[in-house]
Structure formats: C-alpha cells, structure tokens
A and B are shown apart, each in its own frame.
Chain A
Amino acid sequence: MFITRCFRKRAGPAALLGATLLAGTSGWGAVQAAGSDVQQKPVQGGTLTYLEQQAHTNLYPPAGGFYPNGGILNQITDKLTYQNPQTLEIEPWIAESWTVNADATEYTFKIRKGVTFSDGTPLDAAAVAKNYDTFGRGNKDLKLPVSEVINNYDRSEVIDSQTVKFIFKKPSPGFLQGTSVIGSGLVSLKTLALPYEALGDATKIIGSGPFVVASETLGRELTLKVRADYNWGPAKLEHQGRAYLDEIKYIVTPEDSVRIGALVAGQSDVIRQIQAYDEKQVEDEGYLIYAPSTRGVNNSVVFRPDNPLVADVRVRRALLHATNADEIVSTLFSDNYPKATSVIAKTALGYVNLSPKLSYDIEKAKTLLDEAGWKLGANGRRQKDGQTLELSAYESLPQPQNKETLQLVAQQWEKIGVKLNVLTADSGSAVVNNLDPAKAPVSPAMVGRADPDVIKSQYYPTNRNVLLQKGGNSDKVQSFVDERLNALLDQLASEPDRTKRLAVAGEVQNYVVDQAYAIPIFEEPQAFAAAPYVKGVSFEAVGRPSFYNTWLAPRR
C-alpha cells in the first residue's frame, strides 16, 4: 500500500517519457529506443549503485554463468573477442584478428599490444595460452573445473609474444563464439595460480577490464573502481578509453520490495531481478525496465522418458498440445517475456520457427491420450492398466515465477485428466530427486548462450542432461538413450561449416519438438530496472550488464 501511494504522488512527466520510450518495444529494443537521448554528451565521473539480489559465489571465470557472478566479471575481465549483442557477429577485442582452419581444429589469434592486467603483468600470448589451457583442460591440483563452453580442447601453442594457437582434438566450431562469453574472461597468471577455494574472494580476481575490484565485504558489498589507463575496449565500439563511471557499488539486497523501493526512492541507480508483476509500478514512476533476452534454450518443461509414464511419444505430444503458453505468458508475465516459438529463442543463432507444431489443441491432446491407451477413469483421471497418469516436477528457484508457471501448467493438464504435482524442496533434495526420472518425470529447464552449442549443453548426456539419458549425471536411469538426438548434438558441436551447422541446429529443434521432449513456454529475459538518468546501459549477448559505456546524467 505504501509503495503504491508513494508512486502515485511522484508520477509526472518522467513517467510519460518512460512510457513513450517503452511503448511497443520490448527487451533489447527498448534499450535501442532509449538511445535517442544519447545525443547528450556523456558525463564522466560518479558512482553507480547497483542492487543485486544474491551474493556472488566463486568467481573462477567459467563460473560466470551465474548472473550475480557475470554482473561482476563482465566489468573486470576482457575477452579475446566481442560478440555484438545486436548482430551476434564476433568482433575483435583483445584479439585483433584470428584465423580458423577448414575443419575448425586450429584457431590462431593475434593479441593486441600493450594490454595489461590490473596487477601490471602483460596480457600477451603466453597469458592467453595459460588461461585457455586452464579453462579447456581444468587443473586437478588446484581443483579448477573445465569450462562448459570449450569442447574438444587439446592444447595451446605460443607462436610469438602476440600470437597464440589453440589445437583441438575434434572440430570445435563453437569455440570462436566461446571466446567471447562471460566464462572466458581472461585473468592474470596470479589468479590462475590460486586454488579454486580461494576464488570466491573478488579481490583475488585480477583481470584487464575497465574496472578493478577495490574492496569487498563478503556476501554484502563490493566496490569497483575505474581503471584510468584502460584503452582496449572492443575495437568496434564507439566509446574508447576509460569507462565514464568512477566507481560501481554492488550491494546485495535480497528482498524484492526493498530493491524496488530503494530504486524509486532514489537510493540506488540500477537493480537486477524484477518480477513481471512489479514492472508496472516501476514504469509508472518513470523508471526504465531493461529486459535483454538470454538468447538460449527457452524456459521449458522437459520430460524424462526413462519414466514409463512419459516414455510414449503420444503422451508427451498430448501434454505439449494441452499446454497453453499464451495463457501462461498473459497471466503471469509481461511483454518482456515473449511466447516461445521453438526450443531456442527467436534471437538465438540457428532459430527456426516451429509455432505450427506447438499449437494449443486440447481435442488433439485428448485423442492422443486415447490412442496411447490412457482412458478417462471414474475419478476424472487418465488411467491405463490400473495406473494413473500422475506426474511430478520440482520447482526451479532461479527461474522467474517457476512455481506459478508449473501450477498453471498443472491446471491446464488437469483439463485432459492428467495430474501434475508441483513440488518444492530444499536444494539438496531437489537436486537429488530431480536426477531420478521416477521421482521427477517432468522438470523445468532453461539455459542462456548465444551459440547453437547451447542446445547441446542442455540435452547432451554428459552436459546438463535435462532429459536424463543413461550415461550422464544420474545413476537412477534404467535405459533411456536417444542415439539419434545425441548424434545430431555431436554433429552440431563439431560441424565446421557455418551454414551446415545452422541447418543441423534447425534439425535438432525439429527433432526435440517432434519427439515432444520439451514444451517450450517463453523466451526468458534478464530483467533489470534503472533510473532515467542512468544512460548507456548495455548488455552482452545473453543479458549480463556492461557498465563500460554507462554514465550518469544530472538528476532532475
């Protein structure tokens, strides 16, 4: 009640401006529209206060996928290449240029001269080689794990002080994009010499980025200071030289209402994580919502066909057609959460539109279940051989309103006589039970990355293995393996020809939907809110903020 009243009082011309800027656009588009007033000359200086929902965890760069980590690493580390968030093209950054051999097993990078880490050591070919040897192979003595984005890595060769070559055991076409992601941030050899357990201390992470960690209170606060001598931003960016801001203060504020209230009360400038239902009150006050797409595998519900209840493709298809994604998006979310039209987002590389195959058709769903032998019983539930079609799924805490989403799916499935139990558990039980197809035949899933490799990350048995195939991370699986899917995924990760690779990506999407392994629901954004005087907020390709270009206009 207090929030609403407080907002009404202060709504004024600023609200109108915000509404105009945001009208009809969503996500990244909104950011571009807001660019119209970037005509003003950027102001140098000032402190940006950024409210984060969760404390960062281990800052070993390949662990940067966790958003609180990525939000910090993106400011303090540079990458070999820069993925243009609009075109998704790979552009020069720390690497001035590169060559790739025909079968994508050898990559040679020419490193920009004069780049240094904030401890003064040079970022040269040797440093890059050491970084990738660590990310690509891990380091058992230091307990450093292998990076998810580097496939088939063999070794590096330092050719001269500015040239480094990477050699792969098998074709690795996703590697070039992999050099641009948050998990491939380059760090000083001093950082790489530390054991994994020591990397949760942000002050130990020494990068070459536009900001440097100045101090931190564990679990609470982190201060970044600008690096005045920074002069090696992505080559094609208009802004070069040091960042505009002097300082960024990250403050962990877990409570949603406190983050939003503090933003609107002028106590902070940017906040991460705002739920769809809170967007309106923030926009009404003239504040901006940024909802960059995560451009990866859509927020979906996946099946574990090892469980006999969902082993029949007809049952899975029936549930796919019984799921009304439109209703979920319009009931629980906002325009920033577009309805899914394929396994991956529209803005993802290799996307094909599969809307016709994802139609909501309850009659078709009923027919499919009848054909599969699941008849409506006296209690209104589908039954077969004395068994009831009753499924369970564990909610996933990091996904937005996941419990509500699953509960709405459960209501929709109820209409064709299928029961879905939505379960909540402590993280330990949830992780363990979610690995057991008998206990979790259905599961929510999503992952962000702007390369088709992301589909492999999601489904391949030795990666995330969301379908729970045999030979992966679960020892509870009896027999389920889909050789055809895995062969396609292998091909996706190793096809060196770009056109052919994107064709394979399309084939995989079709296959996953034809088999109804997944029910895509919506394209998941990362939602941020910022005060109107915060200009030039940008995001890397999967929605982590970059404050290199950010400046603070005088507050009105």
Chain B
Amino acid sequence: MSRYVIGRIGQAALVLWAAFTVSFILLQALPGDAILIKFLNFELGLGPEQIADIRASYGADSPLLVQYVHTVISFLTGNYGYSIHAGVPVGDLILANLPQTLWLATLGFLLSLVLAITLAALSALSPFSWLRSLIQSIPALFISTPVFWLGILLIQVFSFQLKLIPIINPGPWQALILPVLTLAVPISAPLAQILMRNIDHVLTEPFVAVARAKGASHRWVLWKHVAKNAVLPTLTIAGILFGELLAGAVVTEAVFGLNGLGGLTQRSVNDQDIAVLQAIVVFSAAAFVLINLTVDLLYPVFDPRLRVKQGAVA
C-alpha cells in the first residue's frame, strides 16, 4: 500500500514538473509580453530605451534557459515573483484570491452533487415512464445553459427585481448563494447523467433480480444495492470535473465581480502576466493531482473488490 502511495506521489510530482515546464515554454512563445503590454498600452508613454531598461530590470531579456532555471529555483523556494500588471507579489495575489474560489468550488461541487443525486433519485423512483424521460432530459438542458447568461438572469431576478440578495456589499454567505447556484447547474449535469445511466445499468444486473426475488422493495434495492455500485464511476468523473469547476469559476467570478482565481486567471491571460499565470498553472495542476489522488485512494473504500486486489499485489 505504501509503495502504491509513494508511486502515486512520484507521478504527481512528475505531472507538476511537466505542467510547469510546458506552461513556461508556451507562455514564453506568446507574442509580446506583460512589460510591452503594460508599458506600451495606455499608461506611461515611455521611450524604447526606458522599456529596455525596465525589461532588463525584470530580467526579461536574459536567455530562456537562465530564466527557466531561475524560475524553477524561485518556485522551489516559495518565491513566485511579482505581478507586473497588478504590482504586487504573486503569492499575495494568490492568497487574496484563493479562499473565495475554494469556497465557491467546494460549495458549487457539493450543490451539484445534491442536484445530481436528487435528479437521479427522482428519475429512479418516478412511477411513470414519461416523467422519467422528462427528468432524464434535464441534464441536457443544464449543460447547455450558458453560465454567464444564467448568472446575469439570477442577478436580475433575485437581486434587482425581487431584491432578496444584494449583489453589491453582500454578507459573506449572501455573496456565495447566486454564484454557487450558477456554478453548480452545469457541473451537476454530467454527474446526474452518469448516475442515472449507472442506476439503469445496475438495475439490470442479476444480483438485483436476486434481491428482488428475495422480496426486497424497489426503494430498498435502490438504496442498499444499486446506489453503492452506481457511485463508483461517478467518483471518477467528479475528479475530472474539478477542471470544469475552475473554468466555470472564470465566468462566474467575472459576472458576479468576485475576486477569485478564475477572475485572476482571466485578467492575467489578458495582460500576459506570466509570473501569475505560471503560479496559477502550477497551483491548479497541484489541486488536480491531489483530487485525483484522493479519488484513487477512495476507490477501495467504496469497492471491497479493489481492496482485496491491492492486498494481493502488495
């Protein structure tokens, strides 16, 4: 078991390094750079020599390999550099934006789970087939709803018309209600779809027939036998959906004017603020790796068969 864990951690480190290197190369390959965008655009009318000075002072004109080694060493020592655009250390920027995104992502994910399970349960329990197919088509509607549109619609209705939740100066929890809802709707769709399909699939398995033959009720079968078996593939998808969460956060945070990693990513891409982007890429890769590692380690908990296999190998 411990060898398995160490192996997984080694893999994770490799993924992180690869993400770092690939993003470094890609970001360097972009036309222009943050210094050019910032200093040439609309603020300070600087001459070419001054811009060259600034570039030299940021070390932006040293050879790529030197910059790469320098960045790797700084990252390893916890120094993420300065944001050229915002004029503050990248570490501060990430710290200022992380909590909001974590709350948004966690609550958004939990709500999407609740939505997905509710939909799946409703569909499995529905007594009529027309109702069932109606419920089963909801995920398709959810996933095709544009996030920005949903966000603006919710703001218009709940904040501006019904005046239930202020969008400007809301309390810490009020601030999360609408964005979490906005984020959860599209994320819940694939979860619900997979859950529904799995439930349908598991219901056709022989052991369900056996349980039924023993006189178990539909509800009992669903809860005791089907749910457990249907949840496993959903877990895999859930790990992958983390990426969606981050992408959804970009739009959600822009619409609701929240500070968060999504909004920060969008601004930094616009301004080619490479130091910030590099830190975000590494951070997201780390989070992704961590979540998938957790999912992998959770499998044996849900599926005894995997536990036995692990034992046999180790």
Per-residue interface assignment for chain A, residues 53 to 81, with 1 indicating a CB less than 8 Å from any chain B CB and 0 otherwise: 00101111011011001000000000000
Contact B96–A219 (Cβ < 8 Å): yes
Tally of contact residues, A, Cβ under 8 A:
63
Q: Smallest distance from the beta carbon of A481 to chain B beta carbons, Å?
A: 15
Contact A200–B157 (Cβ < 8 Å): no
Q: A253-B257, A431-B41, A463-B47 are in contact. Are A143 and B54 (CB under 8 A)?
A: yes
A423 on interface, CB distance cutoff 8 Å = no
User: In whole angstroms, how far apart are the Cα atoms of A428 and B41 in the complex?
Assistant: 10
Which of A200, A220, A258 is B167 in contact with, Cβ under 8 Å? A258
B44 on interface, CB distance cutoff 8 Å = yes
Q: Smallest distance from the beta carbon of B62 to chain A beta carbons, Å?
A: 16
A399-435: which have CB < 8 Å to B? Answer: 426-429, 431-433, 435
User: In whole angstroms, how far apart are the Cα atoms of A221 and B93 in the complex?
Assistant: 13
Q: A254-B254, A255-B254, A265-B160 are in contact. Are A55 and B86 (CB under 8 A)?
A: yes
A268 on interface, CB distance cutoff 8 Å = yes
Contact A145–B39 (Cβ < 8 Å): yes
User: In whole angstroms, how far apart are the Cα atoms of A219 and B156 in the complex?
Assistant: 24
Contact A473–B51 (Cβ < 8 Å): yes
Which of A146, A197, A267, A462 is B166 in contact with, Cβ under 8 Å? A267
Residue of A nearest to B166 (CB): A267
B52-76: which have CB < 8 Å to A? Answer: 53-54, 57-58
A1-38: which have CB < 8 Å to B? Answer: 2-3, 6
Residue of B nearest to A471 (CB): B48
User: In whole angstroms, how far apart are the Cα atoms of A69 and B270 in the complex?
Assistant: 18
Contact B255–A220 (Cβ < 8 Å): no
Residue of B nearest to A183 (CB): B44
Contact B32–A199 (Cβ < 8 Å): no
B42 on interface, CB distance cutoff 8 Å = yes
Which of A60, A138, A249, A264 is B169 in contact with, Cβ under 8 Å? A249
Per-residue interface assignment for chain A, residues 172 to 209, with 1 indicating a CB less than 8 Å from any chain B CB and 0 otherwise: 00000000000000000000000011111100000000
Contact B93–A428 (Cβ < 8 Å): no
User: In whole angstroms, how far apart are the Cα atoms of A435 and B33 in the complex?
Assistant: 13
Contact B37–A200 (Cβ < 8 Å): no
Contact B159–A265 (Cβ < 8 Å): yes
Q: Smallest distance from the beta carbon of B171 to chain A beta carbons, Å?
A: 13
Residue of B nearest to A266 (CB): B163
Which of A198, A257, A267, A428 is B32 in contact with, Cβ under 8 Å? A428
Contact A200–B88 (Cβ < 8 Å): yes
Per-residue interface assignment for chain A, residues 260 to 289, with 1 indicating a CB less than 8 Å from any chain B CB and 0 otherwise: 011011011000000000000000000000
Which of A60, A143, A252, A462 is B257 in contact with, Cβ under 8 Å? A252
A457 on interface, CB distance cutoff 8 Å = yes
Contact B160–A432 (Cβ < 8 Å): no
Contact B46–A145 (Cβ < 8 Å): yes
A388 on interface, CB distance cutoff 8 Å = no
- Specify which chain A residues have a CB less than 8 angstroms from the CB of B159 in the assembled complex: 261-262, 265, 267
Contact A220–B257 (Cβ < 8 Å): yes
User: In whole angstroms, how far apart are the Cα atoms of A429 and B37 in the complex?
Assistant: 9
- Specify which chain B residues have a CB less than 8 angstroms from the CB of A398 in the assembled complex: 42
B13-32: which have CB < 8 Å to A? Answer: 30-32
Q: Smallest distance from the beta carbon of A262 to chain B beta carbons, Å?
A: 5
A392 on interface, CB distance cutoff 8 Å = no
B198 on interface, CB distance cutoff 8 Å = no
User: In whole angstroms, how far apart are the Cα atoms of A305 and B163 in the complex?
Assistant: 56
Contact A268–B42 (Cβ < 8 Å): no
Residue of B nearest to A427 (CB): B37
Chain-A contact segment, one of B239-247, B259-267, B284-292, B296-304: B259-267
A514 on interface, CB distance cutoff 8 Å = no
Determine the interface band of chain B, counting residues with CB < 8 A from chain A: 35 or more
Contact B45–A148 (Cβ < 8 Å): yes
Contact B93–A57 (Cβ < 8 Å): no
User: In whole angstroms, how far apart are the Cα atoms of A433 and B37 in the complex?
Assistant: 12
Contact B168–A254 (Cβ < 8 Å): no
Q: A6-B160, A428-B32, A462-B48 are in contact. Are A49 and B168 (CB under 8 A)?
A: yes
Contact A262–B83 (Cβ < 8 Å): no
User: In whole angstroms, how far apart are the Cα atoms of A258 and B39 in the complex?
Assistant: 30
B258 on interface, CB distance cutoff 8 Å = yes
Contact A473–B48 (Cβ < 8 Å): yes
Q: Smallest distance from the beta carbon of A422 to chain B beta carbons, Å?
A: 19
Q: A57-B86, A462-B47 are in contact. Are A51 and B168 (CB under 8 A)?
A: yes
A472 on interface, CB distance cutoff 8 Å = yes
Q: Smallest distance from the beta carbon of A361 to chain B beta carbons, Å?
A: 33
- Specify which chain A residues have a CB less than 8 angstroms from the CB of B107 in the assembled complex: none
User: In whole angstroms, how far apart are the Cα atoms of A268 and B88 in the complex?
Assistant: 28
Per-residue interface assignment for chain B, residues 92 to 112, with 1 indicating a CB less than 8 Å from any chain A CB and 0 otherwise: 110011000000000000000
- Specify which chain B residues have a CB less than 8 angstroms from the CB of A429 in the assembled complex: 30-32
User: In whole angstroms, how far apart are the Cα atoms of A223 and B90 in the complex?
Assistant: 22
Q: A55-B86, A428-B30, A473-B48 are in contact. Are A2 and B57 (CB under 8 A)?
A: no
A362 on interface, CB distance cutoff 8 Å = no
B36 on interface, CB distance cutoff 8 Å = yes
- Specify which chain A residues have a CB less than 8 angstroms from the CB of B58 in the assembled complex: 143
User: In whole angstroms, how far apart are the Cα atoms of A66 and B153 in the complex?
Assistant: 31
- Specify which chain B residues have a CB less than 8 angstroms from the CB of A464 in the assembled complex: 45
B225 on interface, CB distance cutoff 8 Å = no
Contact B160–A261 (Cβ < 8 Å): yes
User: In whole angstroms, how far apart are the Cα atoms of A261 and B161 in the complex?
Assistant: 9
Which of A51, A140, A218, A252 is B53 in contact with, Cβ under 8 Å? A140
| Residue with the highest number of chain B CB atoms closer than 10 Å, among A59, A217, A264, A432 | A432
Contact A473–B37 (Cβ < 8 Å): no
Residue of B nearest to A60 (CB): B87
Contact B50–A146 (Cβ < 8 Å): yes
A251 on interface, CB distance cutoff 8 Å = yes
Contact B167–A2 (Cβ < 8 Å): no
- Specify which chain B residues have a CB less than 8 angstroms from the CB of A197 in the assembled complex: 82-84, 87-89
- Specify which chain A residues have a CB less than 8 angstroms from the CB of B31 in the assembled complex: 428-429, 432-433
B145-179: which have CB < 8 Å to A? Answer: 152-153, 155-157, 159-161, 163, 166-169
- Specify which chain A residues have a CB less than 8 angstroms from the CB of B84 in the assembled complex: 197
Contact A59–B152 (Cβ < 8 Å): no
B272 on interface, CB distance cutoff 8 Å = yes
Contact B37–A428 (Cβ < 8 Å): yes
Interfacial residues, chain B to chain A (CB-CB below 8 A): 30-33, 36-48, 50-51, 53-54, 57-58, 82-89, 92-93, 96-97, 152-153, 155-157, 159-161, 163, 166-169, 254-259, 263-264, 267, 269-272
Interface pairs (29), CB distance under 8 Å? A3-B160, A49-B168, A55-B267, A57-B87, A60-B87, A66-B42, A143-B57, A145-B46, A148-B44, A197-B82, A197-B88, A199-B87, A200-B88, A201-B87, A218-B97, A219-B97, A220-B257, A251-B168, A252-B259, A254-B257, A258-B167, A258-B257, A265-B160, A267-B167, A426-B30, A426-B270, A427-B32, A431-B36, A435-B40
Interfacial residues, chain A to chain B (CB-CB below 8 A): 2-3, 6, 49, 51, 55, 57-60, 62-63, 65-66, 69, 138, 140, 143, 145-148, 196-201, 217-221, 249, 251-255, 257-258, 261-262, 264-265, 267-268, 398, 426-429, 431-433, 435, 447, 457, 462-464, 472-473
Question: Which are the 3 A-B pairs with shortest beta-carbon distances?
Answer: A200-B87, A428-B32, A220-B259
Given contacts A6-B160, A217-B96, A473-B48, 7 further A-B contacts (CB under 8 A): A3-B156, A63-B44, A219-B259, A258-B152, A258-B155, A435-B40, A473-B51
